[in-house]
Chain A
Amino acid sequence: MIAVDVRDLTVRYERVLALDTVSFTLDTAQALGIVGPNGSGKSTLLKTIAGLVPPTSGSVDVFGTRPRGLAPGTIAYVPQIEAVDWNFPASVYDVVAMGRFPRMRPLSRFTKHDRETIDRALDALRLGDLRTRHISQLSGGQQQRAFVARAIAQEPRLLLLDEPTTGVDAATEDALCVIVRSLVRDGLPVLMSTHDLDRASDWFDRLMVLDRRVLAEGLPAEVLDSGAYAGIREHTHVHGHQRTEAHALDAS
Chain B
Amino acid sequence: MSDLLLAPFQYEYMQRAFLAALVVGTLCSTIGTYVVLRKLSFIGDGIAHASFAGIVVAYLRGIDYYLGAAVVAVITALGIGYVNRRGKVSLDTAIGVLFTGAFAFGVFLMSRLPSYAVDLQGFLFGNILAISRSDVWLVLALSAIVAISLALLYRQLLYTSFDPVVAEASGINAGFVEYALLVLLALTIIVSLEAVGIVLVAALLVTPAATAYQLTRSFTRMLALSAAIGALCAVGGLYLSYYLHAASGATIVLLVTGAFFTAMLSKRRWRSAL
Contact = CB atoms under 8 A, between A and B. Distances in A.
Interface of A: 47, 50-52, 70-79, 82-85, 88-91, 94-95, 98-99, 101-102, 104, 106-107, 134, 147, 150, 154, 156, 160
A167 B83 CA distance: 37
Which one of A77, A95, A156 has the highest number of Cβ atoms from chain B below 10 Å of its Cβ?
A: A77
Given A83-B165, A107-B151, 4 more contacts: A50-B169, A52-B165, A71-B171, A106-B153
A109 to B, nearest CB: 11
Contacts of A50: 168-169
B170 A102 contact: yes
A11 B197 CA distance: 49
Contacts of B161: 88
Given A88-B37, A89-B219, A76 B162 contact: no
B219 A94 contact: yes
B154 interface: yes
A44 to B, nearest CB: 14
Contacts, number: 89
A106 B169 contact: no
B163 A84 contact: yes
A104 B166 contact: no
B171 A52 contact: no
A106 B152 CA distance: 5
A-B pairs, top 7 by smallest CB distance, nearest first, are: A72-B171, A77-B169, A50-B169, A101-B155, A102-B170, A106-B152, A89-B219
Given A101-B155, A107-B151, A89 B170 contact: no
Given A88-B37, A89-B218, A89-B219, A98 B158 contact: yes
Nearest to A160: B169
* A interface secondary structure, majority: loop
B172 interface: yes
Contacts of A147: 166
A104 B170 contact: no
B213 interface: yes
Contacts of A47: 169
Contacts of B219: 88-90, 94
* B interface secondary structure, majority: helix
A210 to B, nearest CB: 20
A83 B165 CA distance: 9
A10 B166 CA distance: 23
B163 A82 contact: yes
B13 interface: no
A71 B171 CA distance: 7
Contacts of A73: 170-171
Interface of B: 37, 151-156, 158-159, 161-163, 165-172, 213, 216-219, 221-222
Contact of A102 (B158, B172, B218): B172
Which one of A79, A84, A88 has the highest number of Cβ atoms from chain B below 10 Å of its Cβ?
A: A88
B216 A77 contact: no
Contact of B171 (A74, A84, A94, A150): A74
Contacts of B170: 72-73, 75-77, 99, 101-102, 154, 156
5 contacts: A52-B169, A76-B169, A79-B165, A82-B163, A89-B217
B169 A84 contact: no
A139 to B, nearest CB: 18
Given A88-B37, A91-B218, A72 B154 contact: no
Contacts of A76: 169-170
A67 B163 CA distance: 19
Contacts of B168: 50-52
A84 B162 contact: yes
B169 A51 contact: yes
A78 B156 CA distance: 18
B22 to A, nearest CB: 24
Contacts of A78: 166
A88 B167 CA distance: 15
Contacts of B216: 89
Given A88-B37, A91-B217, A107-B152, A102 B171 contact: yes
A90 B217 CA distance: 6
Contacts of A75: 169-171
A2 to B, nearest CB: 20
A192 to B, nearest CB: 15
A73 B166 CA distance: 11
A55 to B, nearest CB: 15
B5 to A, nearest CB: 34
